[in-house]
C-alpha cells in the first residue's frame, strides 16, 4: 500500500483493488507478469534504473528550490532577441498557471477547441498587422528556427539559386541556426555588411535576411536594399522586433516578402531561453508553402463562423519526402499568451510601452553623448552600442556589481538594450556606470522620419475591447470554457501521451529564478540552471541507455533533425559523406521523412507486413540495394501500430552490419521506460518528447522539448552553441532550447524514482490492454503481438462498421464530443481507425466511462447499419450537437433531443458542450480567411448566402 505522501499514488490512476480488477480482466496475476509477456525477453532491461530515490512533492520542490538558489537574478540589458517583460498577472494566473489552457491538445478537433483557435487567430492577426504582411502562421519554435524556415520557404518559392545573404547585423544565434540548416541542403551562406553587399553580383542568390532593428540596435532603412534584392530575383526576409514595430515602419511596407521573429517580449518570461513563440508572416503568394499551422475561419453546420486548422496543416499531412519543413509541435501556449498581451494592452497600450522604452533609450544615449561617451548607434529603438575603448570587460563587471548585465561586444564596445521593465532609476544607474549624469532633454526622435510607422495596426475589435481586468478575465474564461482539456476528461491520443501534468511539476515555472534569466547571462549566474539541466541529462541518459543527452532541440521534430544531423556529421568525420540513404518504414510519422530530407538524405520506404510490423525481408532487400550509401534507419519503437516488434534487435544489427546508424523515434517511450531502452535495443540515437512521456503539458499544441540521447560514437556531434563548449551544429536559438520547462520533467523523475517510472510504464501497458480487451467485442483491435497483447496503445478498427453503416471514423470522433470526450488519434497511422492511448494516469472509472461511450456509439452505428436509423439524419452524421441546436424550437430529426445530448446517464451529472456544430473544412480551405478582422464581415457574408 502506497503512502499518501508518495507521488506515485497521485500520478497513477489505478492503484489497489481497481488494478487487480483490470489485471483479472485481461488474465494476469501481476503487473510484472504482464510486462514479462508484453515486452520481448530479448530486449528487457536486466537491471533497475539507477536514479535518486523518489521524493514526495514538498521534498522535490525543496530540492529544486535549493538548486535554483544558486542562480543570480540580475536585470539583463543584453537584448539579442530576449528582453525583460511584465507578464500581466491576469495572463500569468489564467493562462500560464491554468490547466484549462495548458493541458489542452493541438486543436485538430476544432469543435472543442474554439477558444485556443480564436486566441491563435488573434495571434495571426496581430502578426500580420504589426509586420504589414498578408498571412501569418500560428507560431514557430523560436526566432532562429523561424529564420531558417524562412530560408527554406524562399528556396521552395525560388528554386533557381543556392546562395542566401545573411546580414552580419543579425542576432548571432540566428546566423548559426541558419548556417546549420543551410549546409546539408547545399546552400551557401554569404554574410557581410548589407550596406556594401550587391545582390546583383552574387551568383545564385535566392534570398536576403536582415535584422530590424539590427542586433546592436541600429534602425536601418532597408527599402533600397530590398529593391535591389528583388531586382536580382531574391526573396527578402526581415527578422523583426514586435515592440519596435509598433513605432517603426512595417517590414511589409518596405518590401519584405517574409518577416520572422520572436514574440517573447509580449508578456512571456525569458526562462533562460524559452519557450517562446517564434512567428512568421509572408506575402499571399507564399502562403500555401508556409511551414507550421495556419488557423482559418470557416462555417459550422448551422452557418455560424467556426475556426479550424486550414490547408490540412497537421502532422499527418506533413509532406513527407517532399517536405521543406518538419514542424509539428509548435508554441501554442506562448502564442496565446503573446496574443493576449496585445488584447489586454491594445494598440495604444503597446505604443505607450514602446514609446516609454524608446524615451528611456533616448535619455540614456543623450546623457552618454553629453558626457563625451561615444554612442555610435545613429538610429535606434531600445538598444544602443556604447564605445568604451579597452574597457568593455571592466564595465560589464562593474555593471554586474550593480545588479545589471550588459552585452559585451569585444573589448571596445558594450550593448545596452532597454525594455518594458527598465525604470528611470535604472537609466540613472546605467548613466552612472559610464560616468555620465542623466541629462534632461532627450532628442525627440531616434530614427529618420521615413522609418516612422504611418499605418494603423490591431484595429480589430478584439484588440480594443478587453482593457479592464474584469473584461479580460471574462474573455479568457469564455475562451477557456470552449475548450476540452485534461481537466475535463481523458484525452486518449495514441502516440501523443496525454498523461497527468502534475501541479507540483508546474509550480517552479513561476519562480523568478526559473523564469527571469536571460539565456546569455554569465555562467556564474546560471549555476542552478546548469545543475538542474545536467542532472536531467544524466537521468535521461540512464533511462535511454545512452552515453549523453542534449536538451537543445525544442520539439520532437527538432530532435529528429539534430539526431540525423549527428549521424550525417559522424559519417562525414569518417570520410563517408556519400552515405545519404535513410530507410523509413511507410508507417512512420510524417516528421521522420521530413527531417531526413532537411538533412539532405534520400528517403527510401520500407514496407510493413499485414500485422503492422516492419517487413524484415523488404528491409533486407532495401539494405542490399543501398548498402554502400546507407546512412540510417528511422524506426519508431514500439511501432506506430502500438506493438513491441520481436525483430527489432535483428533489424538494428542488419543496419549496423551495413555501416548504417539506427535512429529511434522515441515518441512511444512511455512503453519503454524502466522495462527496456533504446540503447538496450541497439539504437544509436533517439529523441524523447518530454511533452509526451515526461509530463510537460501539450499547451494546446506546444511548447515541447525534444532532447536526443546518443551512443558514444555520436557524442561529438551533439548540437553545439556559442554558449556551450562545442560550437558546431546549433539547431535552435538558445543553448538549452526551452530551458525553463525542463523543470517539469525534472520534478516528474525526481518524484517517481526508478520504481515509480517502471510502474508507470507497466500501468500504461495494463490500461491499454484493458481497454483493448473491453472494446474488442465491438471494434476489432487491429494489431497485437502473437500473444494477443498490445503495448501502451491500441488501434481499433472502425472500417468494417463504416462499410455497413456509412458512418465514418470522423463521424465517430465528432459524436464522442457529445459524450464529453476528445477523440483518440484519428486515421493515423491507418486510415479509418482510432488509436487509443490511455496512459498510466487515468483511473479505471475513466477508462470504463470512455469504453461505455465507445460501446454506446457502436450501438448507434449498428442502428444505422440495420436501417433502424436514417442513413443521413442520425446521431453521428449530425454530431456534435450544440446547446443551441438542442434547445432550438425547430427540431426535425428522427431522434430525440435527449438522445442527442444525454445518451448516457453520467452526462446528466456534468455535460461539456461543444461550442460550434461541425466545422466545414472544404469551405474553409476554398475561402481562406486567416485573420480576425474579417470575421464579422465573413459571418455577414455567410448569412447572406
Ligand X SMILES: *Cc1c(COP(=O)(O)O)cnc(C)c1O
Interacting residues toward ligand X by CB under 6 A: 328-329, 495, 555-557, 589, 591, 636, 640, 665, 667, 689, 704, 706
For residues 162 and 193, is the Cβ–Cβ distance under 8 A?
Answer: no
| Residue closer to ligand X, measured from CB, 174 or 636 | 636
CB nearer to ligand X: pick between 840 and 860? 840
Between 80 and 636, CB nearer to ligand X: 636
Question: C-alpha cell of 33?
Answer: 507478469
- Nine cell digits for residue 309: 486548422
CB of 826 to ligand X, least distance (A): 14
CB of 427 to ligand X, least distance (A): 42
The angle at the Cα of 91, spanning 90 to 93, to the nearest 5 degrees, equals: 70
Contact 641, 791 (CB under 8 A): no
For residue 880, cis peptide bond before it (omega within 30 degrees of 0): yes
Find the shortest distance in angstroms from Cβ 592 to ligand X: 7
CB 566 within 8 A of CB 710: yes
Residue whose C-alpha cell reads 485573420 in the numeric block = 931
Query: What gap in Å lies between CA 273 and CA 516, rounded to an integer?
Result: 10
Distance CA 701, CA 330 (A): 6
Closest distance of CB 589 from ligand X, Å: 3
Query: Which residue number, 691 or 774, has a Cβ lying nearer to ligand X?
Result: 691
Nearest Cα to Cα of residue 864 among 797, 929, 783, 802? 802
Do 796 and 782 meet the contact criterion of CB atoms below 8 Å apart?
yes
Distance in Å, CB of 690 to ligand X, minimum? 9
What is the nearest approach in angstroms of ligand X to the Cβ of residue 689? 5
- Between CA 822 and CA 860 the distance in angstroms is 18
Tell me how far apart the alpha carbons of residues 48 and 42 are, in angstroms, rounded to a whole number.
Answer: 16
Closest CB to ligand X among 152 and 383? Answer: 152
Q: Output 560 or 860, the one with its CB closest to ligand X.
A: 560
Q: How far is the CB of 470 from ligand X (least distance, A)?
A: 37
Shortest distance in whole angstroms from residue 640 CB to ligand X: 6
The Cα 142–Cα 147 span in angstroms is 9
**Which CB atom, from 363 or from 486, has the smaller least distance to ligand X?**
486
Q: What angle do CA 790, 680, 566 make, to 5 degrees?
A: 110
Q: Nearer to ligand X by C-beta: 603 or 869?
A: 603
The nearer residue to ligand X, 556 or 612, going by C-beta atoms, is 556
Would strands 205-212 and 163-167 be described as parallel, antiparallel, or unpaired? parallel
- By the 10 Å C-beta count (0-12 exposed, 13-18 middle, 19+ buried), 322 is classed as exposed
- Select 556 or 679, whichever has its Cβ closest to ligand X: 556
Residue 187 dihedral angles phi and psi, to the nearest 5°: -90, 135
Q: Which is nearer to ligand X, 380 or 783 (CB)?
A: 783
Query: CB 667 → ligand X: shortest distance, Å?
Result: 3
The side-by-side arrangement of strands in the sheet containing 602-606 is 548-550, 708-710, 685-687, 661-665, 630-636, 581-585, 602-606
168 vs 197: CA distance, rounded Å: 11
Q: Least distance (Å) from ligand X to the CB of residue 666? A: 8
Tell me the C-alpha to C-alpha distance, in Å, between residue 253 and each of 285, 379, 411, 657, 929. 16, 19, 37, 57, 21
Beta strand 413-417 with 383-387: parallel, antiparallel or unpaired?
antiparallel
Residues whose CB is less than 8 angstroms from the CB of residue 628 and which lie 6 or more positions away in sequence, other chains included:
578, 579
- Residue 140 C-beta: closest distance to ligand X, Å: 12
Q: Cell for 599?
A: 538533412
CB closer to ligand X out of 594 and 630: 594
Strand 295-299 relative to strand 278-282, pairing? unpaired
**Nearest-10 crossing angle of helices 143-157, 172-182:** 40
Comparing CA positions, the residue from 813, 783, 779, 817 lying closest to residue 798 is: 779
* Closest distance to ligand X from the beta carbon of 731 (Å): 13
Gap between the Cα atoms of 819 and 849, Å rounded: 9
Residue nearest to ligand X (CB): 556
C-alpha count within 13 angstroms, C-beta hemisphere, residue 671: 36
- The distance of closest approach from Cβ of residue 704 to ligand X in the complex, given in angstroms and rounded to an integer, is 4
Closest distance of CB 829 from ligand X, Å: 9
3-class secondary structure, 84: coil
Of 557 and 740, the one with the shorter C-beta distance to ligand X is 557
Give least dist CB 262 to ligand X, A: 19
Report the residue number, 525 or 587, with the smaller CB distance to ligand X: 587
410-444 per-residue burial string, b: 16 or more CB within 10 A, e: under 16:
eeebbbbbbbbebeeebbbbbbebbebebbeebee
Residue 707 CB, shortest distance to ligand X, in Å, is: 11
- Closest C-alpha to 374, from 413, 408, 410: 413
Least separation in angstroms between CB 738 and ligand X: 11
Looking at the Cβ atoms of 234 and 671, the one nearer to ligand X is: 671
Residue 396 or 790: which CB sits closer to ligand X? 790
Lookup: cell for 567: 549521424
Question: How far is the C-alpha of 201 from the C-alpha of 186, rounded, in Å?
Answer: 20
**Cβ nearer to ligand X, comparing 313 with 460:** 313
CA distance 842 to 302: 35
Grid coordinates of 76: 539583463
In DSSP terms, 661 is beta-bridged to: 632
Alpha carbons within 13 A on the beta-carbon side of 214: 21
The residue among 94 and 640 lying less far from ligand X, judged by its C-beta, is 640
SS3 for 769-786 is HHHHHHHCCCCCECCCCC
Grid coordinates standing for 494?
Answer: 495514441
Nearest approach in angstroms of CB 560 to ligand X is 7
Amino acid at each position: 500500500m502506497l503512502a499518501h505522501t508518495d507521488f506515485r499514488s497521485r500520478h497513477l490512476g489505478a492503484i489497489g483493488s481497481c488494478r487487480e480488477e483490470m489485471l483479472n480482466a485481461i488474465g494476469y496475476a501481476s503487473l510484472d507478469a504482464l510486462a514479462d509477456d508484453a515486452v520481448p525477453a530479448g530486449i528487457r532491461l536486466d537491471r533497475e534504473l539507477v536514479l535518486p530515490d523518489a521524493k514526495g512533492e514538498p521534498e522535490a520542490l525543496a530540492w529544486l528550490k535549493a538548486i535554483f538558489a544558486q542562480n543570480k537574478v540580475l536585470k539583463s540589458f543584453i537584448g539579442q532577441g530576449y528582453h525583460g517583460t511584465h507578464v500581466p498577472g491576469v495572463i500569468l494566473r489564467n493562462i500560464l498557471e491554468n490547466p484549462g489552457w495548458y493541458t489542452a491538445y493541438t486543436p485538430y478537433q476544432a469543435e472543442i477547441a474554439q477558444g485556443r483557435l480564436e486566441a491563435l487567430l488573434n495571434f495571426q492577426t496581430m502578426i500580420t498587422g504589426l509586420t504589414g504582411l498578408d498571412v501569418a502562421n500560428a507560431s514557430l519554435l523560436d526566432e532562429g528556427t523561424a529564420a531558417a524556415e524562412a530560408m527554406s520557404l524562399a528556396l521552395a518559392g525560388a528554386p533557381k539559386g543556392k546562395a542566401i545573404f545573411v546580414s552580419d547585423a543579425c542576432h548571432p544565434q540566428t546566423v548559426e541556426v541558419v548556417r546549420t540548416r543551410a549546409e546539408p541542403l547545399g546552400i551557401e551562406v554569404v554574410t557581410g555588411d548589407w550596406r556594401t553587399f550587391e545582390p546583383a553580383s552574387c551568383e545564385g542568390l535566392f534570398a536576403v535576411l536582415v535584422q530590424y532593428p539590427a542586433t546592436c540596435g541600429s534602425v536601418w532603412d532597408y527599402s533600397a536594399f530590398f529593391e535591389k534584392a528583388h531586382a536580382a530575383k531574391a526573396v527578402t526576409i526581415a527578422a523583426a522586433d514586435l515592440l519596435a514595430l509598433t513605432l517603426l515602419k512595417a517590414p511589409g511596407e518596405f518590401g519584405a516578402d517574409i518577416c520572422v521573429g520572436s514574440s517573447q517580449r509580449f508578456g512571456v518570461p525569458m526562462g533562460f531561453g524559452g519557450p517562446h513563440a517564434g512567428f512568421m508572416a509572408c506575402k499571399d503568394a507564399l502562403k500555401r508553402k508556409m511551414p507550421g499551422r495556419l488557423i482559418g475561419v470557416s462555417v459550422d453546420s448551422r452557418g455560424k463562423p467556426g475556426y479550424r486548422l486550414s490547408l490540412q496543416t497537421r502532422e499527418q499531412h506533413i509532406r513527407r519526402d517532399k517536405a521543406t519543413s518538419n514542424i509539428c509541435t509548435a508554441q501554442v501556449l506562448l502564442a496565446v499568451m503573446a496574443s493576449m498581451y496585445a488584447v489586454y494592452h491594445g494598440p495604444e497600450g503597446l505604443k505607450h510601452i514602446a514609446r516609454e522604452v524608446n524615451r528611456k533609450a533616448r535619455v540614456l544615449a543623450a546623457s552618454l553623448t553629453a558626457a563625451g561617451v561615444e554612442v555610435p548607434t545613429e538610429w535606434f529603438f531600445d538598444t544602443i552600442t556604447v564605445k568604451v575603448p579597452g574597457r568593455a570587460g571592466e564595465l560589464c563587471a562593474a555593471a554586474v556589481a550593480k545588479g545589471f548585465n550588459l552585452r559585451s561586444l569585444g573589448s571596445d564596445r558594450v550593448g545596452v538594450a532597454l525594455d518594458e521593465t527598465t525604470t528611470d532609476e535604472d537609466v540613472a544607474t546605467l548613466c552612472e556606470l559610464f560616468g555620465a549624469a542623466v541629462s534632461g532633454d532627450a532628442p525627440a526622435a531616434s530614427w529618420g522620419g521615413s522609418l516612422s510607422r504611418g499605418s494603423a495596426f490591431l484595429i480589430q475589435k478584439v484588440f480594443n475591447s478587453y482593457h479592464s481586468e474584469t473584461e479580460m478575465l471574462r474573455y479568457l474564461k469564455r475562451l477557456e470554457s470552449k475548450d476540452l482539456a485534461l481537466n475535463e476528461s481523458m484525452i486518449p491520443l495514441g502516440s501523443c501521451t496525454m498523461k497527468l501534468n502534475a501541479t507540483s511539476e508546474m509550480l517552479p515555472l513561476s519562480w523568478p529564478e526559473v523564469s527571469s534569466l536571460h539565456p546569455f547571462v554569465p555562467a556564474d549566474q546560471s549555476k542552478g540552471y546548469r545543475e538542474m539541466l545536467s542532472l536531467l541529462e544524466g537521468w535521461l541518459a540512464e533511462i535511454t541507455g545512452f552515453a549523453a543527452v542534449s536538451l537543445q532541440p525544442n520539439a520532437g521534430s527538432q530532435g529528429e533533425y539534430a539526431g540525423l544531423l549527428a549521424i550525417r556529421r559522424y559519417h562525414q568525420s569518417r570520410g563517408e559523406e556519400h552515405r545519404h540513404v535513410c530507410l523509413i518504414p511507410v508507417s512512420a510519422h510524417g516528421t521522420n521523412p521530413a527531417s531526413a530530407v532537411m538533412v539532405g538524405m534520400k528517403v527510401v520506404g520500407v514496407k510493413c507486413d499485414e500485422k503492422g510490423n516492419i517487413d524484415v525481408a523488404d528491409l533486407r532487400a532495401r539494405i542490399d540495394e543501398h548498402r554502400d550509401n546507407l546512412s540510417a534507419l528511422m524506426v519508431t519503437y514500439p511501432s506506430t501500430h502500438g506493438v513491441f516488434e520481436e525483430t527489432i534487435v535483428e533489424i538494428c544489427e542488419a543496419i549496423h552490419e551495413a555501416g548504417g546508424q539506427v535512429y529511434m523515434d522515441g515518441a512511444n517511450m512511455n512503453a519503454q521506460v524502466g522495462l527496456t531502452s533504446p540503447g538496450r535495443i541497439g539504437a544509436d540515437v533517439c529523441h524523447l518528447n518530454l511533452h509526451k512521456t515526461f509530463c510537460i503539458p501539450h499547451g494546446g499544441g506546444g511548447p515541447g522539448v525534444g532532447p536526443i540521447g546518443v551512443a558514444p560514437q555520436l557524442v561529438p556531434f551533439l548540437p553545439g552553441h556559442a554558449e556551450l563548449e562545442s560550437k558546431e551544429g546549433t539547431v535552435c536559438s538558445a543553448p538549452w532550447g526551452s530551458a525553463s520547462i525542463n523543470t517539469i520533467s525534472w520534478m516528474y523523475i525526481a518524484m517517481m524514482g526508478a520504481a515509480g517510472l517502471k510502474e508507470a510504464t507497466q500501468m500504461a501497458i495494463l490500461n491499454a490492454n484493458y481497454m483493448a480487451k473491453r472494446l474488442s467485442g465491438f471494434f476489432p483491435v487491429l494489431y497485437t503481438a502473437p500473444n494477443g497483447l498490445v503495448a501502451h496503445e491500441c488501434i481499433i478498427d472502425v472500417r468494417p462498421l463504416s462499410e455497413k453503416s456509412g458512418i465514418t471514423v470522423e463521424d465517430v470522433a465528432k459524436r464522442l464530443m457529445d459524450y464529453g470526450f476528445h477523440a483518440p488519434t484519428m486515421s493515423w497511422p491507418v486510415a479509418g481507425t482510432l488509436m487509443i492511448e490511455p496512459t498510466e494516469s487515468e483511473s479505471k472509472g475513466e477508462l470504463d466511462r470512455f469504453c461505455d461511450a465507445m460501446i454506446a456509439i457502436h450501438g448507434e452505428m449498428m442502428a444505422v447499419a440495420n436501417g433502424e436509423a436514417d442513413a443521413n439524419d442520425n446521431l453521428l452524421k449530425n454530431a456534435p450537437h450544440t446547446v443551441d441546436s438542442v434547445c432550438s424550437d425547430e427540431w426535425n430529426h428522427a431522434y430525440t433531443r435527449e438522445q442527442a445530448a444525454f445518451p448516457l446517464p453520467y452526462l446528466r451529472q456534468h455535460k461539456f458542450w461543444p461550442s460550434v456544430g461541425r466545422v466545414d473544412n472544404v469551405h474553409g480551405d476554398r475561402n481562406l480567411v486567416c485573420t480576425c478582422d474579417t470575421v464579422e464581415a465573413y459571418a455577414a457574408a455567410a448569412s447572406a448566402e
